[in-house]
């Protein structure tokens, strides 16, 4: 039924199967939309946030998806600025994943504020000293860049591409994509950093506060670094999951290995710096404010040293060690484990820097505050996940995302009855092509 929309030379499952598979995801999305409407109409009393937890699961989700979406800017940076040409085979997918992540982050920010109708105040009454202002500006601008990067992909859809204007427009956009990739990388370095600055500047929250250079706390650089390290891991992970679901190889192994290698070295260097940062904070910064390290990891039902071990050793050193070795990258199981651990590591880091910060009592006569999200918060956090799956599924089905797919999965010649309608159409003249409605 939708054969005419499917890219040439590749095979997709029947439409009914596609719809059936997306059914539960659509249901999940509708549940999320319902919860979002409740939050928007009734207010943030629909959540389990309170005056101790001004930030909660949504801000964690925001920080996390932006870090995971970092694959888009960093892969773009490597492809267009550094000149790693092989990455052209995965850059499209990295852009789509980044688009999903950033649009999700903006969506979450939209309903996370108490007065959504005043959301524009952040731009209009901007406080240049606030890290959140920097986040809002860079995030929005970079989302604009991602839209520009995503657009030519949409225009490459088989039917859209038939329109000469769109074809030429898309082609020309590809030509100047390096400019946008550079802009995107510049903006990303800043907003990933300013997201790190959000907890890092909290000088009255000893667990979050970090010293730094000029106006930037060390977390500014650590967040950028970790996003550049773990973002590509997320791109690899989603690519691998897509390959599993599609039942075929979509990206050549050497491309995956190259990205994994770069990601591994980024992760290895990041984790060294992170260890130094943690040591300095534990030995100098926190004690100067009267807090010993054990204070942050004891006398509460959840946060123990295990979380520090998970973040730095299990989800930092281990995946880095796997990814920087050729053997590790070539072993499919080890690669899977490494990218999952790296992604988990950045999720834990963002959790710790948002939720654990607020759990810890600062006044001596207060106690640890624990939090569990309400169903509305869970549903609205799953909403972007469902939306992401749908957008990725649609993009995979109808857009030529993977340049190597046809080559890696050659199709058997079709019988005359099975041939796609497009291939038997007579070549239309230029005049007709200019009328997309008739075509």
Partner 1 sequence: MKSRQQKTKRYGMVIDLDKCTGCGACMVACMAENNVPFKEDESDKLDSITWMRVYKLTNGKSFPKTDLCYLPRPCMHCEGDHGHPPCVSVCPAVATDYSRETGIVSQIYTRCFGCRYCMVACPYHARYFNWWDPVWPDGMEKYLSPNVSPRMRGVVEKCSFCFHRYQLAMDRAYYEGKRELEEDEYQTACTQACPAGAIIFGDLNNTGHDVNKLKKSPNAFRLLERLGTNPKVYYTSSREWVRRAGDNYLKKESK
Residue 272 vs 283, nearer CB to partner 1: 283
Span 276-315, contacts to partner 1 by CB under 8 A: 287-292, 295
Cβ 250 vs Cβ 392: under 8 Å: no
* Sole binder of partner 1 in the list 151, 173, 273, 369 (CB under 8 A): 369
State the angle between helix axes of 375-398 and 218-246 in degrees (0 to 180), rounded to the nearest 10: 60
244, burial (CB in 10 Å: exposed 0-12, middle 13-18, buried 19+): exposed
* Cβ closest to partner 1, residue 129 vs residue 327: 129
Cβ–Cβ under 8 Å, residues 153 and 95? yes
Only segment of 184-192, 360-368, 376-384, 388-396 that touches partner 1 (CB under 8 A): 360-368
**Taking the CA of residue 161 as centre, how many other CA atoms within 13 Å lie in the half-sphere pointing to its CB?**
18
CB of 202 vs partner 1, minimal distance in Å: 5
CA distance 97 to 234: 9
DSSP tag of 412:
P
The reply to whether 403 sits near partner 1 by the rule CB under 8 A is no
For residue 268, the Cα-to-chain-centroid distance in whole angstroms is 20
- Closer to partner 1 by Cβ: residue 164 or 292: 292
108 and 135 Cβ atoms separated by less than 8 Å: no
SS3 breakdown of the chain: % helix, strand, coil, rounded to 5?
A: 70, 0, 25
Nearer of residues 11 and 289 to partner 1, judged by Cβ? 289
Residue with tokens 């990258």: 329
Closest CA to 56 of 351, 334, 291, 266: 351
Interface stretch with partner 1, choices 2-10, 44-52, 225-233, 412-420 (CB under 8 A): 44-52
Where residue 238 falls (left for φ over 0; alpha for ψ -120 to 50; beta otherwise) is alpha
Least separation in angstroms between CB 163 and partner 1: 42
The stretch among 47-55, 167-175, 218-226, 383-391 that binds partner 1 (CB under 8 A) is 47-55
Q: Count the residues in the chain.
A: 439
- In the complex, what is the shortest distance from the CB of residue 59 to partner 1, in angstroms, rounded to a whole number? 9
Site for partner 1 in 162-201 (CB under 8 A): 198, 201
Point out which span in 48-56, 223-231, 254-262, 373-381 binds partner 1 (CB under 8 A): 48-56
- Residue 45 or 168 with smaller CB distance to partner 1: 45
- Asked if 110 is part of the footprint of partner 1 (rule: CB under 8 A), the reply reads no
Number of chain residues interacting with partner 1 (CB under 8 A): 49
**41 lies in the site for partner 1, by CB under 8 A:** no
Do residues 228 and 265 make contact, with C-beta atoms less than 8 angstroms apart? no
Contact 105, 161 (CB under 8 A): no
* Minimum distance of partner 1 from residue 369's CB (angstroms): 7
Q: Is 26 in the site for partner 1 (CB under 8 A)?
A: no
Two tokens, residue 394: 């649609």
Give min distance, CB of 224 to partner 1, in A: 20
Stretch that binds partner 1, among 39-47, 74-82, 337-345, 416-424 (CB under 8 A): 39-47
**C-alpha closest to that of 208 among 50, 350, 345:** 350
Spatial CA neighbour of 436 closest among 4, 15, 1, 2: 4
**Least distance (Å) from partner 1 to the CB of residue 44?**
6
Least Cβ distance, residue 119 to partner 1 (angstroms): 6
Report 116-155 residues binding partner 1 (CB under 8 A). Answer: 118-119, 121-122, 124-127, 129-133, 136
Per-residue binding string, partner 1, 197-236, x by CB under 8 A, is -x--xxxxxx------------------------------
Min separation Cβ 287 and partner 1, Å: 6
Q: How many CB atoms lie within 10 A of CB 89?
A: 24
3-state DSSP call for residue 398? helix
CB of 363 to partner 1, least distance (A): 7
State the virtual CA torsion across 184, 189, 191, 192 in degrees, nearest 10.
Answer: 120
338 binds partner 1 (CB under 8 A): no
Under 8 Å between Cβ of 393 and 18: yes
393 binds partner 1 (CB under 8 A): no
Contacts to partner 1 by CB under 8 A:
43-45, 49-52, 54-55, 112-115, 118-119, 121-122, 124-127, 129-133, 136, 198, 201-206, 287-292, 295, 357-358, 362-366, 369
């Amino acid at each position: 039924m939708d054969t005419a929309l499917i890219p040439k030379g590749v095979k997709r499952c029947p439409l009914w199967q596609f719809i059936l598979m997306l059914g539960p995801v659509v249901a999940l999305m509708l549940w999320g939309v319902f919860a979002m409407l409740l939050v928007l109409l009734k207010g943030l009393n629909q959540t389990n946030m309170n005056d101790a937890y001004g930030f909660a699961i949504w801000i964690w989700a925001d920080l996390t998806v932006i870090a995971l979406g970092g694959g888009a800017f960093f892969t773009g940076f490597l492809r267009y600025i550094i000149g790693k040409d092989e990455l052209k085979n995965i850059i499209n997918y990295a852009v789509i994943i980044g688009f999903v992540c950033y649009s999700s982050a903006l969506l979450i920010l939209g309903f996370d504020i108490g007065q959504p109708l005043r959301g524009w105040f952040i731009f209009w009454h901007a406080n240049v000293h606030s890290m959140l202002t920097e986040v809002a500006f860079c995030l929005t601008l970079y989302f604009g860049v991602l839209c520009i990067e995503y657009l030519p992909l949409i225009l490459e859809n088989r039917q859209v591409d038939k329109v000469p204007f769109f074809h030429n427009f898309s082609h020309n956009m590809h030509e100047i994509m390096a400019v946008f990739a550079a802009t995107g990388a510049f903006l990303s370095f800043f907003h990933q950093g300013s997201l790190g600055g959000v907890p890092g500047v909290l000088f009255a929250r000893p667990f979050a506060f970090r010293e730094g250079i000029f106006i930037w706390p060390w977390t500014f650089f650590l967040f950028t670094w970790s996003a550049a390290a773990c973002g590509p891991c997320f791109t690899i992970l989603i690519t691998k999951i897509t390959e599993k679901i599609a039942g075929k190889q979509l990206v050549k192994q050497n491309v995956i290995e190259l990205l994994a290698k770069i990601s591994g070295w980024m992760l290895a260097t990041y984790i060294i710096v992170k260890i130094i940062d943690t040591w300095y904070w534990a030995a100098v910064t926190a004690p100067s404010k009267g807090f010993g390290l054990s204070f942050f990891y004891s006398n509460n039902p959840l946060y123990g040293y295990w979380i520090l071990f998970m973040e730095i050793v299990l989800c930092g050193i281990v995946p880095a060690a796997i990814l920087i070795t050729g053997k590790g990258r070539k072993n499919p199981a080890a690669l899977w484990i490494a990218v999952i651990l790296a992604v988990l590591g950045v999720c834990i880091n963002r959790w710790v820097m948002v939720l654990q910060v607020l759990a810890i009592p600062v006044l001596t006569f207060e106690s640890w505050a624990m939090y569990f999200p309400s169903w509305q918060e869970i549903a609205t956090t799953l909403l972007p996940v469902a939306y992401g799956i749908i957008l990725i599924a649609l993009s995979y089905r109808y857009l030529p995302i993977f340049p190597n797919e046809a080559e890696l999965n050659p199709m058997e010649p079709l019988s005359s009855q099975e041939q796609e309608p497009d291939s038997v159409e007579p070549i239309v003249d230029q005049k007709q092509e200019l009328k997309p409605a008739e075509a």
